[in-house]
């Protein structure tokens, strides 16, 4: 017969110990929460600025991939156009050869010696025979042209296939770099969202003051070394106040290399797309050699660029959330200048 015993109840001592342990755990977690204070506004700003810098590094990589994609697309289009025209030419050559072969067959159906014996006008026959010899010569030329055209088309098709593969890989890389930029900007925004409304307002006002400082900047008396440098700087000045947008090349928004390439384009000079490529677009200069309109490169990997404006001031598109503006050259780690 089965036994039906009531489960043994925990002792009062055991309950007391469990309760005390739970209370201690709650207290420890509360203390841990208190031990991790909320980051200050300055800490958040420093982290956000670092993320913006990393986003700009990613932006220049994106710009390089975008420029490569555009170039590959142009090359692929050109090759495909050449292949289409070449195929059309090949078809015409084949049609021409076919016409010659047909004509030769019709006039050469009887053995030439028999044709000569039967001909009522030997002179006329000899004239026709000469024409047939010329026709055979043309056939040989046509066959060579067809062979050359076929080899060219094969080469162009192979080149187009390779370029298309490169284009597909570049587009994939472009998507990854875009995702990287968006991820860093999202992290920066999430950090800003941890601040109070008052703290965010204070940061926004500080940024706005930096944007408005253009009205009071002293650019000194230095003059550009060339007309193109003067024209580029003058063009860039008309864009003061335009927003920074990653990947943008104007005319209403810019990233750093987008501004410099746009400005020099207005002076009739085509610069490469990225800051790293623009770094080799002219003669390298030390800080003491800079003149207005020269390019200025910052950071060890050269991921930021601007235009020297004079008196230690740089005109540039600084970062997300900021406008095109003047800023001290000493606010960033200067590498070297470039005179285009």
Question: Count of residues for the chain?
Answer: 340
- What CATH number does the domain located at 222-339 have? 3.90.1720.10
User: pTM of the full predicted structure?
Assistant: 0.69
Respond yes or no: is residue 316 known to be catalytic.
yes
Question: pLDDT (tens digit, 9 = 90+) per residue, 29-47?
Answer: 445 445 556 778 888 999 9
CA dihedral 55, 57, 59, 60 (to 10 degrees): 170
Q: For the chain, how long is the longest CA-to-CA vector?
A: 140
Question: Which of these is catalytic: 4, 284, 303, 304?
Answer: 304
Sign (positive/negative) of CA torsion 305, 309, 312, 317? negative
Contact present, 224 and 292 (Cβ < 8 Å) = yes
- What CATH number does the domain located at 41-192 have? 1.10.287
Say what the pLDDT of residue 60 is: 95
CB proximity list for 199: less than 8 A, separation 6 or greater:
41, 44
Respond yes or no: is residue 256 known to be catalytic.
yes
Respond yes or no: is residue 304 known to be catalytic.
yes
For the chain, the domains span: 41-192, 222-339
Domains 41-192 and 222-339 alike in fold = no
Sign (positive/negative) of CA torsion 171, 298, 301, 265? positive
Q: Give the distance, in angstroms, between the CA of residue 168 and the centroid of all CA atoms in the same chain.
A: 14
> H or E segment at 69?
helix 41-107
Say what the pLDDT of residue 221 is: 93
Say what the pLDDT of residue 95 is: 76
Say what the pLDDT of residue 148 is: 81
Question: pLDDT (tens digit, 9 = 90+) per residue, 272-323?
Answer: 999 999 999 999 999 999 999 999 999 999 999 999 999 999 999 999 889 9
Instruction: Indicate the burial class of 321 (C-beta count within 10 angstroms; 0-12, 13-18, 19 or more).
Output: middle
**Bridge partner list, 285:** 337
Say what the pLDDT of residue 69 is: 92
Which DSSP category does 221 fall into?
S
Per-residue pLDDT of the chain (340 residues; tens, 9 = 90+): 444 455 555 554 444 444 444 444 444 444 544 555 677 888 899 999 999 999 999 999 999 999 999 999 998 898 888 888 888 877 877 777 666 556 555 555 544 544 444 455 656 655 555 554 555 666 667 767 777 878 888 888 888 889 889 999 999 999 999 999 999 999 999 999 999 999 989 888 888 888 777 778 899 999 999 999 999 999 999 999 999 999 999 999 999 999 999 999 999 999 999 999 999 999 999 999 999 999 999 999 999 999 999 999 999 999 988 999 999 999 999 999 999 9
């Amino acid at each position: 017969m089965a036994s039906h015993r009531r489960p043994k109840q925990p002792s009062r001592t055991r309950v007391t110990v469990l309760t005390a342990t739970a209370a201690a755990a709650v207290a420890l977690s509360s203390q841990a929460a208190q031990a991790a204070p909320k980051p200050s506004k300055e800490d958040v700003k420093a982290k956000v600025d670092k993320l913006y810098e990393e986003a700009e590094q990613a932006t220049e990589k994106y710009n390089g991939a975008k420029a490569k994609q555009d170039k590959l697309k142009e090359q692929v289009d050109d090759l495909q156009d050449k292949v289409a025209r070449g195929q059309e030419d090949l078809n015409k050559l084949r049609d021409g050869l076919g016409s010659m072969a047909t004509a030769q067959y019709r006039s050469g159906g009887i053995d030439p010696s028999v044709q000569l014996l039967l001909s009522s006008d030997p002179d006329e026959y000899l004239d026709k025979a000469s024409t047939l010899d010329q026709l055979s010569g043309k056939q040989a030329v046509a066959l060579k042209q067809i062979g050359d055209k076929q080899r060219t088309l094969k080469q162009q098709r192979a080149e187009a296939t390779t370029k298309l593969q490169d284009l597909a890989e570049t587009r994939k890389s472009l998507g990854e770099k875009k995702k990287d930029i968006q991820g860093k900007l999202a992290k920066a925004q999430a950090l800003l969202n941890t601040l109070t409304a008052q703290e965010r307002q204070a940061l926004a006002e500080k940024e706005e003051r930096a944007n408005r400082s253009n009205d009071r900047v002293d650019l000194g008396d230095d003059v550009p070394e060339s007309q193109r440098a003067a024209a580029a700087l003058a063009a860039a000045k008309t864009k003061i106040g335009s927003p920074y947008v990653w990947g943008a090349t104007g005319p209403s928004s810019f990233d750093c290399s987008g501004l410099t390439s746009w400005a020099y384009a207005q002076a009739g000079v085509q610069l490469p797309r990225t800051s790293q490529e623009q770094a080799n677009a002219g003669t390298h200069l030390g800080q003491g050699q800079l003149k207005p309109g020269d390019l200025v490169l910052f950071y060890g990997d050269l991921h930021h660029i601007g235009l020297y404006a004079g008196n230690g001031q740089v005109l540039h598109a600084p970062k997300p959330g900021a406008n095109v503006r003047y800023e001290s050259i000493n606010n960033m780690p200067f590498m070297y200048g470039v005179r285009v």
